Structures are given as structure tokens and as C-alpha cells.
Structure 1
Amino acid sequence: MFKRKNLAVLLGVTVCTTLIAACSSNGETGQSGESGKDAGSKKPGEVSISILDRGQVASDEGTYESNRVTKYINEKSGLHVKWVPILRTQSTQKLNTLIAAGEAPDLMWEFSRDYMSNLKDQGAIQPIDDYIEKYSTSYKAYLKAHPELKPYTMLDGKTYIATSARGIDAIANHAMWIRQDWLDKLGLKTPTTMDELMVVMRTFKEKDPDGNGKNDTLGAAFNFNYTGIIQAMYAAQGGLWYLENDKIVKGNFTDRYTDVLAVLKTMFDEGLVDKEYITDKNFQKERQLFVTGKAGVYFASWNIPSEYRELKQNVPEGKLVPLEPVSTKYGKFGLFQEPPANRLIVFNKNMKDPKAAIQLLDWLIDKNWFDVRFGQEGVHYKLVNGVPQAIDAEKNKKEIIYAPEYAVVDQYSPKPEDFPIMAAQDAISQEYAKVQGESLKVAMKNKFRRDLPFNPTFPELSETQTSFSPLSEEIETKVITGGAQYSPQWGLEQLRKEWKRLGGDNVDKLAQDWYQKNVKGK
């Protein structure tokens, strides 16, 4: 029997997903409500919901508002669902604008619990306990089966957020990669400490590992995860709070953060990374350096199918392997992993049909998330040992690569051994699928240090952080690029000084009170 709940999904062009023709055609929602159940006598329930626009819908597929996936959902769910595109890079700003104008959709979602707490404080959203109890069957049962999600759904003792559990591939996030062929050529061992990693990167820069006789290689390249990876290895993530002697403190105010700044400064000063990265805001040059074979370490994500493919096309002999996080004088910590809750969905306080909203969640979580995600059997995939294998990667890339976004709640979780089955059958795809499975194992091998299940949230913190963020970026850039006059120690002192100037002492006190009430006291 096909086990959908444990389905592994290959991200990228082979992870494609949408409508399954074999799905029931009677539009049953599997819920206790009547919306859409009797089209002859009742108007379908109506609900609007945000959707992140990542620019993946081809013009001949339609738009994020209307495409084969949205039409499928409306046809099979018995609901009339209106999708409101929100540009991914401006998601919270756009939602705030829509809320202020009274034009926000009934359901809104993002990944930040902090943001949802702010919406609650603003009175923009409403608790949903009663709706779940009155209207839900499948989602209510799902929550009972996943008690680990409860802390992420509650605000001030009430349920404000609907969500589903992340699969293991969605919990894994940041990762490092290394050119094994360069290590072998230069007689180097895989680094296991930060000191060893720095030595390896210096050797990659100085010893001409690509053999072209030019001084044109770098120790590392990276995407936007670069600083977060360094921070995680020192357990000093700037966006998280840590528990230090029964007090909580922001990661970029810990003594360990001096070491983070020191590593970033050393890599810049010694030219182990391209010094123009400071102005390379979209990291396209960094990506190009890596895929053309000019960097030995890649600070990025655990799943990099396009970069891997381009590297192999440009440097066929290149052998790229996942690299475990290295230890520091503080010990060994895993790289960033997401919390167990996936998309966080909230209900607009002004929504007209909460019953339809619950019915949509019930319909998706029951089993239809799979139909939305994977496409039509025989068209987009075939089943191999109960796992959907892509038939035509290019077809899927065009027709359904955007589809997973619409499964706002789901129940899939991948298995590394399924990736080769799911991948396209060309040589590079099959080679990468095996490496991908290993990368997922490496990404989850070491536990990421997350002292609190979620960050403190209260208005004073949000306001202070908004003012502090540009100042901290300026200070850290000075430390990294400014030479000897701006030491890491100076940088940490300046960060603490600016936080204090902006009222940080009061914020820290309120954060400690929040911790005592919401975490320690639980």
C-alpha cells in the first residue's frame, strides 16, 4: 500500500507536485461542515489565503492566483479558495500593508512566530480554538497526534496559529560542502576543528588546487547562510537567545560572538573569501565562483541540486561532499535547523467564513496535500516501490515546481534512501541523489543549539530590534573590513553599547520576565 505520510520528496526540479487525477471527483472535504458538499443547493464556502510568490509560475501556466493547482484545489475541495500572492522577499511588509488597508486575506502565513505574535499584539488576528473544536475533524486529530507542535501554536494561552510538522528535509537547513578532490590532490585530511578548517582554506587558496598555474582559487564561497553557519559553530546565532547562568541573552551579545567576528575578519583579511561579497547582496558572484570550480568550501544549504549540477558540468572531475560542522574551543554544535513547526497560519480577525478556512485545512491535512504536491500519476510521476519517481524533470519543472507552496499543511517527510528513486534518471541527477541523502544525514547528525523553543516576543523588543539591526550591521561590517583599528572585541563592545543606548537594559529585563513566565515556568 502506498504510504503517503512517509513520502520522501526530492527538492528542486524533481520535487514536483500538484493535481492527481485519480483523486476523488466528488469534492468531499472529509469534514463535518457542509460547504461545497451539495453544489445544487448550497454556495461553496469561500476563503482567501496568502501564497508566497517565488517567481516560479511560468507565464503559460498562469499566475499565482490562477493555475492548474489552484483550479484543482477548488474543484476537489468543494471550496472557493482565493489565493493572494505575496512577494517572498517582501512578505511581512506586504502583509502589514494589506492589514493596514483592511484588505488582508482570511488566512495569512509565514514562518516566523515572532511576526505572528506581533500581529496578535496589534489585534489583527484571532484565536481559533473554538473553530477547531466546532468545525474540524482531520486537523483536530492531527494536532492530537503531534503534541510537539502545541508550543508553536499558542499565544497568551490561546491557539492563534495552525501548522503542521516539518519533514526532516525541511528541518535540515544550513550546511557546508567541500571539494574532496582538492583535499585528495593536496594531501589534506577532512577538517574537524575550526583551526584545521582555516588551514585547509589557506591551502586551497595558495596551492593551486585546480592546476591551472594561476593564483585564482579561494578557500570558500557561500550563499546567504554564510554568517549563520559561522555563528552556529560557536553557538552564538545573532537572531536567537541563549540561556547563560539561568538568564537569557541574545546570541550577538555573548562573549562567544567575539570569536564569530574574529573568524569572519580573518577570512576577509587573508582573502580566503572574495572581498567583494560585502556588496554582493544576492550572492550571485559567490555562486558563480563556486560552480566554476574556484572555491574549495561552500557555506550554503544541505540541498543544492542546481549548484551541484553546474559544478559537475563545468568541472566533471570535481567531487563535492558534505562537510560536518567543525568544533571550536566551545565544543561542537550542529548548524542551523528549523523548529518542528512548518508554515504558521493565522486567521484574520475580520474573516467572514471561519468554517471554510477550517475545511480547507482539514481537506489538505487528511490526504489531499499529496495530491496537491506530486502531480498526476502517469504524467508527472510513476510509483516505484511506493515512491513517486519523476518521469520528465523538465516537464515537472515547468508545470508543478511551484505546487508545494499551496499545500500549506501536509504530512510528508523524506527518507534519504528514497532520493535516488525520486530523482530523474540522468547520470548527474542520480549521482546527486546519493550525495543528497548523505548530506541530509550529515545536516541532522549534530544537534543545533536552540536553548529556547522560540524567541521572546513583546512590542518593546520588536521596536528596539528594528532600530538596532542597521546599527549592528554597520558595526560588524567595520570589524570585518576595517583592518586592525576595528577589533572583534571593539565590535562586541559597540554592539552592547548601542543596544543599551536604545533601551536594551529594559528589553533584557522584560525578556527575562518573559522567559520565567513562558519557558521556565512551563
Structure 2
Amino acid sequence: MKKLKQAMMTMMVITMSVTMLAACTSNKTVSEQPVNSSGTATSVNEENKKEISISMFDRGKVPTEEGTYENNRWTKWINEKSPVHVKWVPIARNQAQPKLNALIAAGEAPDLIWEYDRNYISQLANQGAIQPIGDYIDKYSTTYKTYLEKHPELQPYLNFNGKIYAVSFARETLANHGMWIRQDWLDKLGLKAPTNVEEFIDVARKFKEGDPDGNGQADTVPIALSVSSNSIDQAFFFTSENQWYVEDGKLQFGRTLDRYVDTLTFQKQLFDEGLIDKEYITDTNFQRSGQLLTTGKAGIYLANWDIEELNNNLIKNDPTAKLVPLESLSSKYGKNGLYQEAPPSVFTAFNSKMNEEQIKSAIQFIDWMLQDGWEPLRYGEENAHFNMVEGVRQKIDPDKFKIEVAYAAEYAIMLDNVLRPETFLAMAAKDEQSQNYAKEKGKSLELVMKNKYRRDIPFNPDFPELTQLIATFNPIAQQIEAKVVTGGNSMTPAQGLNELQKEWKRLGGDNVERLAQAWYDANKDNLN
């Protein structure tokens, strides 16, 4: 449903020139004396350290007392400990690609650019904004080169046009999206957790009508949404909007499938019946949705599999509240898993203007991050943020961790870690609230991974005609879908699907489908 919000905000798709690049890829050294997390000078001599710049997502998570994304205890720690001096370039998460495109066009792009979206990295490779790095990894890497040998599943994702253009690491878990429900509301109204789409709508109706918070007012909004919500409801009908499906041996785009009408019908029903917040379209940062949940006005949350901070805020407002995870719902098409990621995590690419010496420095940093850097950024400092208990890092103070460490994971462009549900209890702080959430977090991860998510091909085809079509088609599609869902009787779901299919064809969809099919036929033996 995120697509609908974006449509109402008049999205502009930016196609940027990349003839100018990376003014900030200078080969300068840093002479300033670093400081450690306590603010005292260190004895490390940085005079010969090269500087590299790295993009990062600004999620607004750095507490004021910690500083900024560019300057805080962890940026100082990185520059003290790593073989290079890093200049971090924060990019607002919800504007990442347009902002990076603008920096590239202006010649101000950082040396290392990272994104979760493989298609975006492919676009940069096709534009010449980034460069192949396979030979440099072989020449200069030790730790990462060995890591790749242990994780051959990553290799196909790093290759673009037959060359390695990015580095990545295996995800801690493939789980991403999740659903949560107020168990105390279910108990109060004598309801069972829904298992299919019809039961889900029925429970939402009863949450709306049954005054589960007991305040005597008709102010319950049954379902709150997060950034993940659009892919969650599309999973029920096997119609993820930017995913290709293999139907009878033919590649078809999810947003143009005939069954996409069921996705539109589901979304429209939720909106028309008031089962979701009427203002969600303008809630572009999902702050209102989060408040609906944490203030006890919403009973179902379509989100990520781990929502610890929101859960904690809810418990502070209502100590009797109990959020529990939901398994994916079945529909007339069967049961699809909630969205699960492909094996690679973030893709880190190298600006095409970097010279060999700069690339060498960047690879040294990647090796250091993978070997020594990621653990403190993920878990904090031993005896300050965690204690080792029987080989498991046990969090000491959740509030202290939230302030001093939680934001630091954004700097870990390399990880070597696997999340295991059985360790969550041992890792959590020993207070009752932390222990209770750890149990539900473990259940959430298990439920998300219980049902396989349908992914017919590991990654989408990537060629210029497709990139251009999607860039043009998406904002038009969002406008059509917004009209279907929020426009009352102005456009039915069937009419909306017809408009989507017409626009797809008008913009060259038939030709793109032929090219995509040729790509699939040529590569399908290597896509399993």
C-alpha cells in the first residue's frame, strides 16, 4: 500500500545523467588526530590513512546526545580502528535513489554507494556510474575473498553483464516482513487468530465494532500499516508489484497479472470499510500508523518481523497489551510466505572515478569490517552494552543500548552473522518485558520462515528498456491504484487492472516482455 501514498504525493522519477561523477573520490590523507568514544585522543597515527566516502541510510535514529550520522561515538571508533578514514554521506532512506542519482549527476557521489536494490546497482552499472571490481578483489582482498568462497550463493547476484560490480554479504536471516496482532484483544472479544484472508477481514471488522480497548468510543482503527504493508497483502495473492513470475514457462510482470485484481479488491475493501486509517495516504513516514499501534488504537500491524521498539512503546502506554506474531494468510490461490529476501544483503558498489589506490583502500576497509568491525557496531561494547553468558551476548540495559548502539548497525556494510531464534531469550535483557518480547520475536522469525515465499527467479532481468519502462510505469500505476482504492465508485478493481494493462502495453510492455523472456530462456538453467 506504500505505492498509494507515493502516488498522492506526486512522485517524480529522476533519470539522471552520469557524465560527471564523484568529486569526492579524492586521494587525500587525513592528518587530524582521532578521538575515541569517550572523547579522548588516541595514540593512533592517521597521517597516512587514505580517506574514502561511503553512502548510508539516514533513518533519523541518532539521538541528539549521540551527535549526527556524520559524527558520533561510532564514526570516531571506526576512524580510530579501521585502516582508512571514512567520510559518511547520509541519504534519507525514503529518498535514497533519487538523492544518489542527483549526487552522481552533480559529480558529488561518494566512493562507495550501497543499496538493497539489485536493480538499482544494475542501472548504475549500465550507466557507467560504477566500475567492475572482481580483479581488485582477487588482487587486494584476503578476508572478503575467502568469505565469497564460503558463500558461493552470493556470486550470481554480484555479476552484472558478466562482471562483478558489487560486494555483499549473506543476510542474518531471509525474513523481512511480518504481521502482528493484539492477543489481548482477541481474548477479550473471544476471537481466534485469522488464518486466511476472509478471517482476517472478519477479525478486523470485530476489532472496529467491538470496542476492544474498552473506552466506550468507536475510535478503533483495526489495521495499522508500515512500509512493508504493500508487499504483505500482495503476498496473499502472489502478485508482488515489481516481481516477475513464471506462468506456464512465460515471464509475466506481477502488477499486470490477471489476479492482481484481487490485490486491488482487498485493498479497496479495507479502505472502504474503514479497516485501515483513512489518512494513511498522507502518512508517508508511517509515524501516524506507529502511533495508532503504540497508543492502543490499532490491533493489527502489517510491518516487519521484528518491531521491538514499537512493542516497547506500546507496553509503556498499556502494560496489559500483548502483541503476538501472525502466520501468513492463505487465499484462494493457496498460502504464500510473507516476503523473504534473496540471500545477499546490501550491495556496495565502487564509484567509476575511483583509481586503483582508492579501490585498494576501500577493499582494505571491507576486509576490516568483515573481520573486526561489524560486531561492535551490531552489539556494542562488552561489559557496557552486553555480557557474554555461555557464549551468547546478553544485553545489559535495553534503554542504554537503544541510545548508544542501535543506530550503529547502519555503518556495518559487512556482517558475518546468522540470527537463530533459540538465542533470542539468552541475548535479551533479563527484565520481564525484554524476556517476553524475545519469546515473541523468536516465534515471529519461525512463523515468517515457516512458509516459503514464492520467488520464481532469484532476481529480475536487468536491461535498459525494462529500467526505463518501470521508471515511467510505476508512478502512473500508483495513480491508477490510488483511484481504485480511495476513489469510491470512480473506478472498480477490474477497471483499474484494465487500465494498468493498457498503460503497460502503451509504454512498451510487449517488447519488454519479449526481451525478458529471451533473457529468461538464455539464463534459466543458471537461475535455480
Higher-RCO chain (CA-CA 8 Å, sequence separation at least 6): 1
Which of 411, 415, 422 is equivalent to 1:410?
415
1:58 maps to a residue whose letter is P
The CA deviation at 1:447 is 1.1
Residues 180 and 323 in structure 2, CA contact (< 8 A), matched pair in contact too = yes
Give the one of 355, 359, 364 matched to 1:354: 359
User: Which shows bigger deviation, 118-127 or 185-194?
Assistant: 185-194
Residue in 1 aligned with 2:321?
318
Match of 1:424 among 426, 429, 453: 429
Distance 1:132 1:198, change over 3 A: same
d(CA) in 2 for partners of 1:210 and 1:87?
36
Shift of 1:60: 4.2
CA contact under 8 A between 2:377 and 2:405: conserved in structure 1?
Answer: no
Contact 2:37 2:73 in 1 (8 A): no
Distance of 1:84 and 1:270 partners within structure 2: 44
Aligned with residue 273 of structure 1, among 269, 272, 276: 276
In 1, Cα distance between the equivalents of 2:65 and 2:206? 49
* Partner SS, residue 378 of structure 1: coil
| TM superposition shift of 1:245 | 1.1
Aligned match of 1:448 in 453, 457, 474? 453
Residue 86, structure 1, aligned to residue 102, structure 2: no
User: What RMSD over aligned residues (CA atoms) do the two structures have, in Å?
Assistant: 2.2
3-state SS of 1:81 partner: strand
- Deviation digits for residues 44-93 of structure 1, max 9, x if unmatched? 34432222222233344333233322222222223233322222222222
Which whole-Å deviations, capped at 9, do the CAs of 1:435-459 have from their partners, x for residues lacking one? 1111111111111111111112122
Question: What letter matches 1:251 in structure 2?
Answer: G
The 5-angstrom pairing of residues 222-301 of structure 1 reads 222-301=225-304
Distance 1:487 1:112, change over 3 A: same
Q: Which residue of 2 aligns with 1:145?
A: 150
Q: Aligned residue pairs: how many?
A: 487
Name 2:29's counterpart in structure 1.
none
Work out the CA distance in 1 between the residues paired with 2:50 and 2:451. 46
Q: CA separation in 2, counterparts of 1:197 and 1:63? A: 42
Q: Relative to structure 2, which stretch is displaced further, 340-349 or 410-419?
A: 410-419
1:76 corresponding residue in structure 2: 81
Which position in structure 2 is the counterpart of 1:161? 166
- Is the alpha carbon distance of 1:58 and 1:306 closer, same or farther for their aligned partners in structure 2, counting shifts above 3 Å? closer
Uncovered stretches (5+) of structure 1, i.e. residues with no partner: 1-18, 28-38
Query: Which residue is 1:487 aligned to?
Result: 492
Which amino acid is the alignment partner of residue 67 of structure 1? Answer: N
TM-score (norm 2): 0.87
Contact 2:175–2:305 (8 Å) recurs in 1: yes
Q: Which amino acid aligns with 2:210?
A: K
Residue by residue, what CA displacement relative to the aligned partner does 1:192-233 show, whole Å, maximum 9, x if unpaired? 121122222222222333333332323322222222211011
The Cα shift of 1:256 comes to 1.6
Deviation at 1:420, TM superposition (A): 2.5
For each residue in 1:231-252, what CA deviation from the matched residue of structure 2 results, as whole angstroms up to 9, or x when unmatched? 0111100011111111111111
What residue in structure 1 maps to residue 109 of structure 2?
A: 104
Q: Does 1:47 align with 2:52?
A: yes
Quick one: which amino acid aligns to residue 140 of structure 1? K
Cα 1:433–1:208 shift into 2, 3 Å:
same
> What is the aligned partner in structure 2 of residue 328 from structure 1?
331
Q: How far apart are the structure 1 equivalents of 2:437 and 2:106?
A: 47
1:345 corresponding residue in structure 2: 348
Q: What does 1:55-70 align with in structure 2 at a 5 Å threshold?
A: 55-70=60-75
Q: What is the distance in 2 between the residues matched to 1:46 and 1:214?
A: 59
Task: Answer yes or no: is the 8 Å Cα contact 2:54–2:110 preserved in 1.
Answer: yes
Q: Answer yes or no: is the 8 Å Cα contact 1:218–1:294 preserved in 2.
A: yes
Amino acid at match of 2:132: P
Instruction: Give me the whole-angstrom Cα distance separating, in 2, the residues matched to 1:493 and 1:502.
Output: 14
Measured after TM superposition, the shift of residue 366 of structure 1 is 2.1
State the distance in 1 between where 2:109 and 2:281 align: 36
Please say if residues 242 and 452 of structure 1, whose CA atoms lie closer than 8 Å, have aligned partners that are also in contact. Answer: yes
Q: Percent identity?
A: 53
Determine helix, strand or coil for the equivalent of 1:197: helix
C-alpha spacing 1:319/1:378, structure 2 compared with 1 (3 Å): closer
Distance (whole Å) between structure 2 residues aligned to residue 496 and residue 148 of structure 1: 35
User: Residue deviations 1:263-321, cap 9 Å, x none?
Assistant: 11111122222222233322333222222222232211111112212222333322221
Distance 1:212 1:403 in 2: 40
In the alignment, structure 2 segments of 5+ residues that lack a partner are 1-35
For 1:188, the equivalent position in structure 2 comes to: 191
Please, what TM-score do these two structures have when normalized by structure 1?
0.88
SS of 1:300's equivalent?
strand
Equivalent pair of 1:69/1:372 in contact (CA under 8 Å): yes
TM-fit CA distance, 1:486: 1.7
Give 2:195's aligned amino acid. T
Distance in 1, Cα, partners of 2:189 & 2:487 = 32
SS, match of residue 331 in structure 2: coil
